[in-house]
């Protein structure tokens, strides 16, 4: 049998993926989590994100409880359990459960990551101010998108893509550019962990405001939320 350079490269890539998957499966808590959330349920959730929400999904690394020992095998990993395992294994927007099952069969126990900067960007604030901001925004009757809560104490508001690039200019126009706000925006190159996955071994991520068909895919522009988010973030800092 003759092996070309291309086929040998593919074999090495496949072997790397399998090795990473084995590390994921060997982490403490992975199989107990699998008993709670079956393989079928995870694939169904992935298909919901890709099919109904129009988001791409990437299988991500896992971390042992406590936020250490990333399954990527890098001792100095900068994002333990919160980065893609294999970006090439992405399940694209519009894909069904069959493709999701194929990908998660190769990488059992992988977390569910959503790449920002395409269908959405994310405004990330501390959880307590984020909760207060959500109440204010809903009372104002604004069109809102999904909101995630992470076990690291962060609230993540989904907004229309492009917000990350516009954030400095928007904060300047609103007079918040020098306020040292605990607020940032995730865009191209960033990922968020989605339910039913854990975030960095710290615990499960959950929806504070679940994705709704009436808000997809027309997410709100960042400028409509930013004033309220900046205000509550500023108040939280002032009262700390």
pLDDT digits (tens, 9 = 90+) for 112-168: 999 999 999 999 999 999 999 999 999 999 999 999 999 999 999 999 999 999 999
Distance CA(47)–CA(92), nearest Å, equals 10
Burial class (CB in 10 A: 0-12, 13-18, 19+), 97: middle
Q: What is the pLDDT of residues 198-230, one digit of tens each?
A: 998 899 999 999 998 766 668 999 999 999 999
Residue among 105, 26, 34, 108 at smallest CA distance from 73: 26
Residues 63 and 89: beta-carbon distance below 8 Å: no
Task: Give the model's pLDDT for residue 193.
Answer: 97
Q: What is the pLDDT of residues 32-76, one digit of tens each?
A: 444 444 577 788 899 999 998 999 999 999 888 766 689 888 888
Residue 3 scores a pLDDT above 50:
no
Task: Give the model's pLDDT for residue 67.
Answer: 60
Task: Give the model's pLDDT for residue 20.
Answer: 47
Q: What is the pLDDT of residues 100-113, one digit of tens each?
A: 999 999 998 899 99
Task: Give the model's pLDDT for residue 109.
Answer: 86
Angle at which helix 97-106 crosses helix 39-48, to 10 degrees, equals 130
Centroid of chain to Cα 4: 37
Residue 195 scores a pLDDT above 50:
yes
What does the buried/exposed string (b/e) look like for 177-187 if buried means 16 or more CB atoms within 10 Å of the residue's CB?
Answer: eebebebebbb
Distance CA(105)–CA(21), nearest Å, equals 9
Residue 10 scores a pLDDT above 60:
no
Residue 177 scores a pLDDT above 80:
yes
Residues 148 and 209: beta-carbon distance below 8 Å: no
Of the two residues 178 and 126, the one the predictor is more confident about is 126
Please tell me the total number of residues recorded for the chain in this structure: 240
- What's the token pair of residue 69? 């020992």
Instruction: Identify the weakest region by mean pLDDT among 44-53, 165-174, 184-193, 231-240.
Output: 231-240
Residue 88 scores a pLDDT above 50:
yes
Angle at which helix 222-239 crosses helix 127-139, to 10 degrees, equals 130
Q: What are the start-end ranges of the E strands in 162-205?
A: 183-186, 191-193
Average pLDDT, the chain: 84
Task: Give the model's pLDDT for residue 54.
Answer: 92
Of the two residues 8 and 96, the one the predictor is more confident about is 96
Taking phi first (over 0 means left), then psi (-120 to 50 degrees means alpha), and beta for anything else, what does residue 94 get?
Answer: left
Task: Give the model's pLDDT for residue 38.
Answer: 55
Residue 26 scores a pLDDT above 80:
no
Q: Which helix or strand (DSSP H or E) is residue 233 part of?
A: helix 222-239
Of the two residues 182 and 75, the one the predictor is more confident about is 182
Residue holding tokens 């359990």?
A: 81
5-33 average pLDDT score: 45
| Strands 58-60 vs 63-64: parallel, antiparallel or unpaired | unpaired
Task: Give the model's pLDDT for residue 33.
Answer: 46
């Amino acid at each position: 049998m003759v092996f070309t350079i291309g086929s040998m490269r593919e074999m090495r890539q496949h072997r790397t993926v399998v090795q990473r998957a084995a590390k994921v499966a060997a982490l403490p808590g992975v199989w107990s989590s699998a008993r709670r959330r079956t393989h079928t349920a995870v694939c169904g959730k992935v298909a919901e994100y890709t099919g109904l929400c129009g988001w791409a999904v990437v299988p991500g690394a896992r971390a042992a409880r406590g936020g250490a020992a990333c399954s990527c095998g890098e001792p100095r990993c900068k994002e333990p359990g919160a980065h893609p395992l294999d970006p090439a294994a992405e399940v694209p927007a519009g894909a069904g459960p069959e493709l999701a099952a194929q990908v998660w069969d190769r990488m059992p126990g992988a977390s569910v990551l959503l790449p920002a900067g395409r269908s959405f960007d994310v405004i990330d604030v501390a959880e307590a101010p984020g909760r207060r901001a959500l109440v204010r925004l809903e009372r104002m009757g604004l069109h809102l998108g999904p909101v995630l809560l992470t076990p690291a104490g962060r609230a993540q508001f989904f907004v229309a893509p492009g917000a990350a690039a516009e954030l400095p200019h928007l904060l300047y126009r609103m007079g918040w550019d020098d306020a040292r706000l605990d607020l940032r925006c995730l865009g191209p190159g960033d990922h968020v962990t989605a339910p039913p996955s854990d975030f960095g071994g710290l615990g499960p991520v959950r929806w504070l405001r679940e994705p709704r068909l009436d808000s997809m895919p027309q997410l709100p522009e960042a400028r409509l939320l930013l004033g309220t988010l900046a205000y509550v973030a500023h108040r939280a800092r002032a009262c700390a």
